[in-house]
Structure 1
């Protein structure tokens, strides 16, 4: 037994509630992922005010994806070797400043570059944050669901706050959202520096890595993420262009979808503590296809609102569970696992956005959403090969 593992076994039991353990990290995750929610909320306004095409607008999601996806693995590896208390706070600041400034420039290239920088900030946050949050959560899927739900809440708050601001003030109102991440970055940096728990727990966890299962889980998460990114990008335009709704009601639909995501993330954590991690993932994937079918069959712009909430809920049931299961499959590399499941796999789903943009050019936003219906089938098939950590040797 190594000295790190000995120190871990001698630590007294953590008597804090799951929320007390997660509240700082959940709040930081919400602020960071707020700016991932800002991008799809701003897409209709880039189309309407900057006259970007569907392909250009959907490629803005790709810009954030490239910035956040490509660095995830090296940052994860680095965070498994060093504590780096400054990295997550700095990432929050860069994400907020890049996304906030994107609405102030006219050039498509400049907007793309700023959102690329915002994606890099997101990449800097997730691996070290996921590593330290998991150590605070311990074996509790409910605790990890609070951390993951923070990200979902940030996605939810994005359109809820951005849509009315952009409706009233135009696309330049994105700059109003720069101060919160700077403040949160300062708070998180102070928390990291004064926390005595993180240094004691720093280091690799005992256990055997199961790389094949982790790869299968990652593939499942990429497919799920492609579906989620596609819905986030086109749901507002679906309401506006297909159902004949106002831009405000389109923003409401996106807000409800993301609110369902928050509820689904919390529900998934509780389900996993009772039913098991793998079964919860399989239930979420299987239930998604009828939820999407019901949405596409409803042609009423108001009647479809509860259905988009349901789609968001079902989509996010596996979210926190996939993060925890990924770290269980790679116990010696929790930062790398968090970088892949929280960052790379989720961001990689954005790589499908230009293709969906082409579908939308020829068949409208409804065609893009219909094309996404294949994703739950693939995710269900992939998740069938996952195994509970307790059954592994």
Structure 2
């Protein structure tokens, strides 16, 4: 019998925080976002070797972010109704195929197709990964979420280092090394998926929503729905604004400092790395502070 969300939460709290699973899914999050970071790390290589314009580089970034972000609610909607642990390794397999295409794509359009596969793999991973965090968090929601997010942010922060140590020496073919990241993620998920399946079987089946009985309850439910929708739209605007400047920094700042200050592409990665590393630190500290002082505060 499916249990309510409140009951599932109480079970999770009683069982405590499962740190092994938290760090495992955070590691997979790191590997997943590192695979996404391979795309932005290759921008200066693509610009030089394939003669891409800034507009074409922007289209690659747009394609990656649209497929990895816009598809996430679609996958989340489906997985809420029918959770599927097997989707986690499937998403990693899609990213692996995309990285192979990225390494050997001879044209701009094949680059875009490869990026679509990487984006879809990421979109599939995130909703199911968040549910794993939900079950493993116990009573430490802020810390659990920060551990999960730190993995992703750390993976993104590796892009400048990959440009320096892999893609400047090896060029576009260096993206093939990213396939090892996908393989490592699948290996880790072989430990996570059975545990996640057990949690779903025990107390994770989605509960059916009860229809309000009377007119007052119906009015209250509609009012609550409006408040929730307003809060979600406000959060969406905030995340959009934050992501706008973060994407601009991550994708184009390296070109700006190269052209403005005369730095080499390798040297231009250092300030970019500091920016991303500060995001990792802020995410981790934010989770600890949220548990200590409350998420609203």
TM-score category of the 2 structures, normalised to the smaller one = 0.7 to 0.9
- TM-score, normalising length: structure 1: 0.65
Contact 1:162/1:174 (8 A) holds in 2: no
Structure of larger gyration radius: 2
Name the residue aligned to 2:150.
149
Contact 1:239/1:253 (8 A) holds in 2: no
**Structure 1: which 4+ aligned runs deviate by more than 6 Å?**
205-208
Name the residue aligned to 1:180.
181
Residues 157 and 96 of structure 1, relative CA distance in 2, 3 Å threshold: farther
Distance 1:81 1:119 in 2: 22
Q: Show the 5 A alignment for 1:255-334.
A: 255-279=273-297
Shift of 1:186: 3.6
Name the residue aligned to 1:312.
none
Contact 1:153/1:262 (8 A) holds in 2: yes
1:252 and 2:251 aligned: no
Contact 1:64/1:119 (8 A) holds in 2: yes
User: Unaligned stretches of 5+ in structure 1?
Assistant: 280-393
1:111 and 2:111 aligned: yes
Deviation readout 1:51-83 (Å, 9 max, x if unpaired): 100110121111112222332222111111122
Shift of 1:26: 0.2
Distance 1:156 1:93 in 2: 23
Q: Show the 5 A alignment for 1:162-181.
A: 162-181=163-182
Shift of 1:10: 5.3
Shift of 1:3: 4.6
Distance 2:204 2:123 in 1: 20
Name the residue aligned to 2:199.
197
User: Unaligned stretches of 5+ in structure 2?
Assistant: 210-220
Shift of 1:50: 1.1
Contact 2:25/2:192 (8 A) holds in 1: no
Contact 2:32/2:92 (8 A) holds in 1: yes
Q: Show the 5 A alignment for 1:118-129.
A: 118-129=118-129
- Higher RCO (CA-CA < 8 Å; seq separation 6+): 2
How many residues are paired up? 277
Residues 105 and 204 of structure 1, relative CA distance in 2, 3 Å threshold: same
Residues 3 and 66 of structure 1, relative CA distance in 2, 3 Å threshold: closer
Aligned Cα root-mean-square deviation (Å): 2.4
Name the residue aligned to 1:61.
61
